[in-house]
């Protein structure tokens, strides 16, 4: 009896193993109530101290020093925390960030997230340019491509929403375009349920370029 059950277990495990090996989860972060409360309880004062090591790239107050680095000020703490965990686990990879994130404990990540989220968001002057393609996608999506409007998730004001949908308003255009391209070609694949990859795959390069400027110029 026991032997038969054992055999069945081994057989079942053998059947599932190859599947598990191929289908890696996009992120290790699961938004349980405990996880949410943990991030919510992040200690911003400690985060401020830890953030000194980030200032060289993300600026003294989370406004990045280069257009190709994302600003972190005013971002959702849950989104920031998830990204740090994703760099830490390897679900998201970047030559600059992966190393930094590996040296952070979960508590450090929650503290940093609390501090950056509390900083005044990036401000970019309103440019007089009109980004027609981008505006259509943000407000209407595309019927032909079955694309939902960006604002359904990222908000009409580009401020994002719980838990893991990031604010985009005021974000650096170069970074937004860069990361959209990374979703498009699958280099960035830490979006749970492929929510961004599915969308980015059908965006043209011209649209990606415009979307960057569109969001950079939204007034906070």
| Among 212, 181, 173, CA closest to 197 | 181
- The site map against ligand HEC for 95-134 (x = CB under 6 A) is -xx--x-----------x----------------------
In sequence order, which residues have a C-beta less than 8 Å from that of residue 22 and are 6 or more positions away?
none
In sequence order, which residues have a C-beta less than 8 Å from that of residue 167 and are 6 or more positions away?
74, 75, 76, 79, 121, 154, 155, 158, 159, 160
Would you say 41 or 56 has its CB closer to ligand HEC?
56
The torsion angles phi and psi of 147, rounded to 5 degrees, stand at -100, 125
- The site map against ligand HEC for 38-77 (x = CB under 6 A) is ---------------xx-xxx----------xx-x-----
> Could you give the dihedral angle defined by the CA atoms of residues 10, 16, 17 and 18, in that order, rounded to the nearest 10 degrees?
140
Stretch that binds ligand HEC, among 4-12, 37-45, 120-128, 174-182 (CB under 6 A): 174-182
What are the residues binding ligand HEC (CB under 6 A)?
53-54, 56-58, 69-70, 72, 80, 82-84, 92, 94, 96-97, 100, 112, 137, 148, 150, 152-154, 164-166, 168, 176, 179-180, 190-192, 195-196, 199, 211
């Amino acid at each position: 009896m026991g032997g038969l059950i054992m055999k069945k277990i081994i057989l079942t495990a053998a059947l599932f193993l190859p599947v598990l090996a191929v289908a890696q989860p996009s992120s290790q972060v699961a938004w349980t109530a405990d996880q949410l409360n943990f991030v919510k309880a992040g200690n911003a004062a400690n985060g401020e101290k830890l953030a000194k090591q980030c200032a060289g790239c993300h600026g003294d107050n989370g406004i990045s020093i280069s257009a190709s680095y994302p600003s972190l000020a005013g971002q959702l703490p849950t989104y920031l925390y998830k990204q740090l965990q994703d760099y830490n686990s390897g679900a998201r990879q970047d030559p600059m960030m992966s190393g930094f994130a590996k040296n952070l404990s979960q508590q450090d990540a929650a503290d940093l997230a609390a501090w950056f989220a509390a900083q005044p968001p990036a401000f970019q002057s309103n440019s007089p340019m009109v980004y027609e393609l981008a505006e259509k996608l943000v407000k209407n999506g595309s019927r032909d491509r079955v694309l939902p409007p960006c604002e359904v998730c990222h908000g009409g004001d580009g401020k994002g929403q719980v838990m893991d949908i990031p604010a985009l308003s005021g974000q650096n255009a170069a970074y937004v375009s860069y990361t959209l391209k990374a979703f498009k070609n699958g280099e960035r694949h830490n979006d749970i349920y492929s929510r961004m990859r599915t969308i980015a795959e059908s965006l043209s390069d011209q649209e990606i370029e415009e979307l960057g400027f569109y969001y950079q110029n939204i007034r906070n």
